[in-house]
Amino acid sequence: MYKLLIRPLLFLADPEVVHHFVFRWLKFFFKIPGIKNIVAAAYNNPDPHLSVNLMGLHFKNRVGLAAGFDKDAKLYDELSAFGFGFIEIGTVTPKPQPGNEKPRMFRLPDDKALINRMGFNNDGADAAAKRLRNRNKKIIIGGNIGKNKTTANENAIADYEYCFNALHDVVDYFVVNVSSPNTPGLRALQEREPLTALLQHLQNINAEKKFPKPILLKIAPDLTNEQLDEIVDIVKQTHLTGIIATNTTIARTGLQSNETLQKETGGLSGLPLKSRSTEVIRYLRKRTGNNLVIIGSGGIFTVEDAQEKLNAGANLVQVYTGFIYEGPGIVKKICKGMR
């Protein structure tokens, strides 16, 4: 029903307009007594064999929602009813910021892909923390953190520290995002010296907390093997828990959509990213053995796509573009296939 009727109607409008419309509709719909239980019964697959313990956390299944969908932690409770094993909010920054100019999100239906140049539009870390303060602890929440656009790279550590402290008591794990292509200069923080300094600083703060949280690094798919080797060395040196592979790509090879869409700047996500993200996962697993948690993200639409990531070495997977194209039943379908 979703792909035959609902998706064609939604795809008639601007993607960002549709996103906010769906958020408002779900907020209203879930206020009706009993609706959340009905949705959860329809879309969850409560099989204990699908659960896994990682990072000191118990995941009811291996399929999560990637950052970017619920940037401000406004809909995590409602989204949990669709069966996600975990939900990642963000990317959040210390100060609220509007992001880049609109339009800034584009569909490529012929490629089952999206291009976005959102630019970390969010209400700020304090607003997200406030919304998460009284959350259901059964929902595993990750906090994806970044820097404000106006913050120079040499001052970026302070931004990440602010977000880390603001969210520490209300999320279950952290993701350091230095790989978005939509904030000028951000990817330069993936270089050895600034990245080591940033991650070590966060780990030092983490060690001082009563309950330290797992910290993962989200990396770009556009890194060379030599750069991936460097990332692995830094992650080991700073004793991070793991890596999320991967963020969106700036590559445009092999696309079928019209050239005007292909020329839009921003990060490409969806099916064209599937092979490269799997390659990165496989390479990372060979380089790290079983010592790091790897979360696979990029081009997951089916159980076969998810299994490909797991076979390559991922411990968990995340969906975003696949959720938009396949609809609310994607997690149940993947979990059913895994079972």
Q: Catalytic one among 80, 179, 180, 257?
A: 180
Whether 265 contacts 117, CB under 8 Å: yes
The total of other beta-carbon atoms located within 10 Å of residue 285's CB is 18
* Own/partner pairs, 96-105, CB within 8 angstroms, 24+ separation: 96/122, 96/123, 96/124, 96/127, 97/121, 97/122, 97/124, 97/148, 97/149, 97/150, 100/182, 102/16, 103/14, 103/16, 104/16, 104/266, 105/14, 105/15, 105/16, 105/19, 105/266
Whether 80 contacts 112, CB under 8 Å: no
Whether 129 contacts 114, CB under 8 Å: no
The answer to whether 180 is a known catalytic residue is yes
**Hey, which residues are catalytic here?**
180
